[in-house]
Amino acid sequence: MICNDQERIINIIHNNDSESKSAANELKKKFEANGFIISYSYNYCAELNICIGGDGAFLRAVHNYSFPSTPFIGINTGHLGFFQEVSPDNLDDFIESYINESYIIEEMFLVEALICTRTSCIDLIGINEIVIKGIESKVIHLNVSIADNYLERFSGDGLIVSTPAGSTAYSYSAGGSIIFPTVKVLQITPLAPISSKVYRSLTTSAIVHHNMTIKINPEYRDENSILMVVDGMEYKYDNIVEVNFKLSGMTINKLTLDPHNFWWNLKDKFI
């Protein structure tokens, strides 16, 4: 695609509820009044992606458009809205900051899983997390190694492997630690681990260095009892023999108006 450098294009991606549509229309008028071109269909020549909705809308947009390098910013018309930095009441301030380039671009790290069955391997990428869990809440048994060092025979509902951004999502609900978004690590958090005389599983999360691979080998009886969940989307594969997790070489860009916004957001959403 050949892009015209003279055109300043912005993609607006929004939910279909009335509040999101209203915010999208208001944003369109205000940006067009400042010389920008607004596209509701995804334009790969755009300089910014504005996602209007909740965190789910943000995650879907990034997945749907294959993790583009164009920065994302969110307008929150959802519930929690941890990714969504801007309120619909502050559109003028946002536009002024954007025009004056009063913002920074933060890299968001992604988690990658290579799932190998007895016949092939499949690659999955997550923004928040990739979860390996038992189908229909079945207890599963997983042999876990980190950087080729055997760690444990896990027994329980499953394991969450999350990014720093995902540390405030499912992992947090399961008792994981909160990690600042720019720290280059992965976190492995157990889901309902069994710890007894028979089964010995870690009951807390572990932080894993970005150069290390997390290898998980299901026991033979569990090869067909596993569900992979990527940012809330479920995938089922037969005869899984190994899953390797690592920090992806790919990142996405998030535009933020305040580098200290994470701590305010944390307090506002959770405390």
The amino acid at residue 194 is I
Q: To which residue do tokens 């015209």 refer?
A: 4
d(CA 27, CA 40): 12
Residue 193 and residue 200 in contact, taking contact as beta carbons nearer than 8 Å = no
In the 3-class helix/strand/coil scheme, how is 107-153 assigned residue by residue? EEEEEEEEEEECCCEEEEEECCEEEEEEHHHCCEEEEEEECCEEEEE
> Helix (H) and strand (E) counts for the chain?
5, 16
Burial (CB count within 10 angstroms: exposed 0-12, middle 13-18, buried 19+), residue 102:
exposed
Residues across the chain = 271
Q: Which residues are catalytic?
A: 55
Tokens 């969504």 -> residue: 84
The contacts of residue 223 (CB under 8 Å, 6+ apart) are: 238, 239, 240, 241
Residues with Cβ within 8 Å of 89's Cβ and at least 6 positions away in sequence, in order, are none
